[in-house]
Structure 1
């Protein structure tokens, strides 16, 4: 059966630019998920799709029928529901092994690791028609930040710096991403954090020992 691969995170418009969060003063998204204001702004894209699914299924949030819907989302083949709904179903599920939010447990939890790995089948099959590269990067970044303790510190720092600009829909090339990661390894986090776009981060002057001869 060919699945429809309904797109996700497109019900709400994207901001035109990254702006400071009124709560944490960082660019919106950089405090995710610990800053409530940042979390609300980011999660709104996921929640909008989940609310639409609830409405389509005639299900009320918080009622037992929502648990049945979560089970249906998990049992469906990749592509039956928007990727945002798969992610939100994981938010609503407690891992039976470690009791954390499914996919965010400690590094030794195989159930969480398996759930996190299986979600990416959607992306591999849907790109680039039903999912843009920006949407994939947004999904990876948010999932990673929700389980930051499972990732390397440098990777987490990269995601935190990137999220405000991914929220605007700014495209990011592999070359740009590699430059920003190189700057992070060089300890230039403070310089990166003052940039107003991902392109600005990637355009920082080269370090003297990397400058062309």
Structure 2
């Protein structure tokens, strides 16, 4: 499980998404009659990663987490940004199937998947991208999708924060409060 250095709702949301990833993987193993912790599980994970477009994104993320990169030795897709095998695997992550959850706006699941990938492999993304996607996790997990205008306002506000502030804030409301307090000085 990935622990976010930022706490609050983003960390809770990431823990909830990671639990859903593990639950999907457990069901997937059961469907294929494969026991966890076996060579067959590794082989099944390799099959998933060989063509991610055939599987749900949570299954793909779980499969990546069970494989090691042959170049850098890290979890496949989560190694340093200069690892070509991890870059390739991370890119293939985004070919997986996304099915929006019932009663959520179209595209919510895509947003959740991207935000989860960023939060789980933070070192692969810039500080402001991490901030925006991590703060968006609870909103997306709750089944909401910010409008384009809303997302642009969030980004503009995050762009006004110092990098150390970007790493500490735990909500979009906190970002707004920080910026408002500066204007009040």
TM-score normalized with structure 2 length: 0.77
Pick one of 170, 173, 182 that aligns with 1:195. 173
Gap change, CA 1:100 and 1:136, over 3 Å in 2: same
1:113 deviates by 0.5
| Structure 2 contact 46–67 (Cα < 8 Å) conserved | no
Structure 2 stretches of 5 or more lacking a match?
Answer: none
Determine whether 1:150 maps to 2:128. Answer: no
* Structure that is richer in helix per residue: 2
SS at the partner of 2:128?
helix
Summarize the alignment of residues 76-155 of structure 1 with structure 2, pairs less than 5 Å apart: 76=51, 78=53, 80-122=54-96, 132-155=106-129
Determine whether 1:45 maps to 2:20. Answer: yes
Gap change, CA 1:194 and 1:117, over 3 Å in 2: closer
1:122 deviates by 3.1
Structure 1 stretch displaced more, 92-101 or 68-77: 68-77
Pick one of 34, 38, 48 that aligns with 1:59. 34
1:192 deviates by 7.6
Counterpart of 1:178? 152
Structure 1 stretch displaced more, 61-70 or 131-140: 131-140
Gap change, CA 1:77 and 1:168, over 3 Å in 2: closer
1:165 deviates by 1.3
| Structure 1 contact 27–164 (Cα < 8 Å) conserved | no
Structure 1 stretch displaced more, 102-111 or 39-48: 39-48
Counterpart of 1:27? 8
Structure 1 stretches of 5 or more lacking a match?
Answer: 1-23, 32-36, 209-213
Gap change, CA 1:60 and 1:129, over 3 Å in 2: closer
| Structure 2 contact 60–93 (Cα < 8 Å) conserved | yes
Name the CA distance, whole Å, in 2 between partners of 1:43 and 1:77: 18
TM-score normalized with structure 1 length: 0.68
Name the CA distance, whole Å, in 2 between partners of 1:137 and 1:194: 16
Gap change, CA 1:140 and 1:64, over 3 Å in 2: same
1:36-67 CA distances to partner (integer Å, 9 max, x unpaired)?
Answer: x6654221111121111111111111122111
1:83 deviates by 1.7
